[in-house]
């Protein structure tokens, strides 16, 4: 995707940062992204989200974390055809991204299966970066999602409750 973006607009600086949440062999990325464009991010995901203008994120809790951080992103997911077909048959929901599921509408574009190609990812990133109104609308939707979910911190509340029981 970065090579496609750079060919389309060499004046922009694109950099790929991979969160340390990925525990697989980093050689996987050597085949996908030129090494000079990759920076492994060893800190918390929230730090990476604050740095980024736009992210490509696979489905999961990272999508909710990005939305709550207010960082625009595109959801990207690709798997083998059989598991995907089975999952789509079993799960009768129109979206796979948590922000979209929780909002009941598409807030974040989902590039699924064939749509998760380097060219389509690059085109989608560029389209998003080039549309300030779309970025603004996405951030507004993220603010609405944050209001819906509230300011509760369940992990902290559970920890405080346990500490209260111990003391």
The residues pairing with 17 across neighbouring beta strands, listed in sequence order, are 39
CA distances in angstroms from 30 to 18, 23, 48, 118, 142, listed in the order given: 12, 15, 20, 14, 33
**How far is residue 114 from each of residues 6, 12, 77, measured CA to CA in Å?**
22, 26, 9
In the block, tokens 């603010």 appear at: 143
Contact predicate 63/99, CB 8 Å? yes
Cα separations (Å) of 25 from 22, 28, 78, 79, 157? 9, 6, 18, 18, 36
Beta strands in 15-141 (DSSP E): 16-19, 38-41, 55-57, 73-77, 110-112
Partner residues linked to 47 by β-bridges: none
What is the value of pTM for the model shown? 0.72
pLDDT digits (tens, 9 = 90+) for 36-60: 655 555 567 777 788 888 888 887 8
pLDDT tens sequence for the chain (167 residues):
666 666 777 776 666 665 555 555 544 444 555 556 555 555 677 777 888 888 888 878 889 889 999 999 999 888 888 888 888 888 778 888 889 988 989 999 999 888 888 888 888 988 999 999 999 999 999 999 988 887 667 556 656 766 776 66
Is residue 79 classed as helix, strand or coil in its secondary structure? coil
Burial class (CB in 10 A: 0-12, 13-18, 19+), 3: middle
The three-state secondary structure class of 80 is coil
Distance CA 14, CA 152 (A): 35
- Inter-residue contact 82 to 113 (CB < 8 Å): no
């Amino acid at each position: 995707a970065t090579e496609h973006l750079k060919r389309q607009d060499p004046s922009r600086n694109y950099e790929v940062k991979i969160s340390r949440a990925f525990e697989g062999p980093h050689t996987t990325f050597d085949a996908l992204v030129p090494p000079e464009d990759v920076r492994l991010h060893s800190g918390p995901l929230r730090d990476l989200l604050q740095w980024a203008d736009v992210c490509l994120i696979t489905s999961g809790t990272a999508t909710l974390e990005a939305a709550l951080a207010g960082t625009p992103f595109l959801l990207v997911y690709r798997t083998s055809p059989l598991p995907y077909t089975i999952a789509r048959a079993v799960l009768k929901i129109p979206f796979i991204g948590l922000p979209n599921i929780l909002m009941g509408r598409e807030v974040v574009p989902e590039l699924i299966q064939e749509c998760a190609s380097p060219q389509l990812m690059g085109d989608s990133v560029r389209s998003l970066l080039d549309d300030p109104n779309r970025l603004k609308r996405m951030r507004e939707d993220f603010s609405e999602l944050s209001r819906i979910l509230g300011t509760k911190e369940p992990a902290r509340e559970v920890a405080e409750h346990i500490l209260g029981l111990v003391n």
